[in-house]
Copies of this chain bind each other. A is one copy, B any other.
Amino acid sequence: MTSRIKISSAFDGGNISVINASEPDNIRVKIPNDTNSKFLQWFYFRLQGGMGEQCVIQFENASDAAYPDGWVDYQAVASYDREYWFRVPTEYIDGKLVITHQPEQDSVYYAYFAPYSYERHLDMIAWAASNEDCITDHLGETAEGRDITLLEISKTQGLAKNIWIIARQHPGETMAEWFIEGLLERLFDESHPVSRSLLNQCRFYVVPNMNPDGAVHGNLRVNSKGVNLNREWKNPTAEFSPEVLAVQKKMAETGVDLFLDIHGDEALPVNFVDGCQGVPSFDVRMEAMETLFKEVFTAVSPDFQTEIGYTPDQFGEANLTVATKWVGETYNCLSFTLEMPFKDNKNLPDDMVGWSPERAKILGADVLYPIHQVIMSAHMKAND
């Protein structure tokens, strides 16, 4: 009898290559490379015909991934309804990633992390723009003609602190756009005291998706030109990184008082930030703001911590091709890369869902607490 198994990925963000799916318990697949790139790690596909079968899915080229350490202690996500994504048993053995799962329905989706589609992106932009405190601004377009849209959000027409937040330079880090969705929902809550206070004093500039081409193609790290945008900030080009060029141009108009670049980290099982130590102009004021931000964030969120993270750059050695470093240096402002896990927060793990869209959204809402304290602090006022 022939297998009923059918694997498909011809949809937004879909990414898989089937080697053999003739037997449910021996499905062999490969993760295709990012467009014009050697990177690979993001996968997303639909499996049909597996109800009640023990499905064993082997990713044969898992060891070629951009971050093989990402597979250690990693559990893939699955969904029947495309809304609720749960973790399924996953192992990394002999260089292969292996999902073992018996679907309860005949149609199930598997992914590296809960996807965030371009349709949802456009819906979110449209929803945000319907708020009276928010307008959209067309910054530019990608190589494939997709819009780079900026959201400008404030309750004041006067002088205000300029807070820039960008997400998904790396398109496969979808938790970054979930984070933005949560941040915006909180910011638009007319009754929330932190949001009200911030919007009276600040103007938010939010780019929910820096890399829509890469997102639609199901890439982990690059745009359709095969370029890692987060290595383009020193010398962006119209041909290879128009996304960065467009943002820098707008930043030059507005100035930047605080910058966050939202990411996901494939390996580390925690949420953390990486700041500007090592940037030439790093000074005591920036350091004090970094410290305050981290203290408040730690106080409000058991999902945030400061013990695990990247090793700070030595003074002056920071890579100014990276967004956070470039913005910190250029605007002498508080500037952080915020990293969320693909896996889970090991300090408060959830076996069912691991790190999830819902948790990313709450972290995105809660980041307003440390932002608020920094804005209210003497460090910020000193900058007026």
Contacts and interface: CB of A to CB of B under 8 A. Distances in A.
Interface of A: 4, 6, 8-12, 46, 48-49, 79-83, 105-107, 117-120, 122-123, 125-127, 129-130, 135-138, 141, 144-147, 149, 189-194, 196-197, 296, 299-303, 345, 348, 350, 356, 358-359, 361-362, 369, 372-373
Nearest to A107: B136
A106 B8 contact: no
A126 B108 CA distance: 9
Contacts of A194: 300-302
A125 to B, nearest CB: 7
Contacts of A130: 80-81, 105
Contacts of A141: 6, 8
Given A125-B107, A126-B81, A138-B49, A196 B302 contact: yes
Contacts of A81: 126-127, 129-130
Contacts of A106: 129, 135-138
A63 to B, nearest CB: 27
Contacts of A123: 82
B146 A11 contact: yes
Copies of the protein in its oligomer: 4
Given A46-B147, A105-B129, A191-B358, A197 B122 contact: no
Question: Interface on chain A toward B: helix, strand, loop, or mixed SS?
Answer: mixed
Sort A-B residue pairs by CB-CB distance and give the 4 closest, nearest first: A191-B358, A10-B145, A193-B303, A193-B302
A46 B105 CA distance: 37
Q: Which of A146, A189, A194 has the most CB of B within 10 A?
A: A194
Contacts of A299: 296, 299-300, 369, 373
A141 B6 CA distance: 10
A149 to B, nearest CB: 8
A301 B147 contact: no
Given A119-B12, A126-B82, A6 B138 contact: yes
Nearest to A200: B348
A328 to B, nearest CB: 25
A102 to B, nearest CB: 17
A146 B8 contact: yes
A323 B268 CA distance: 48
Contacts of A300: 194, 299-300, 369
A96 to B, nearest CB: 25
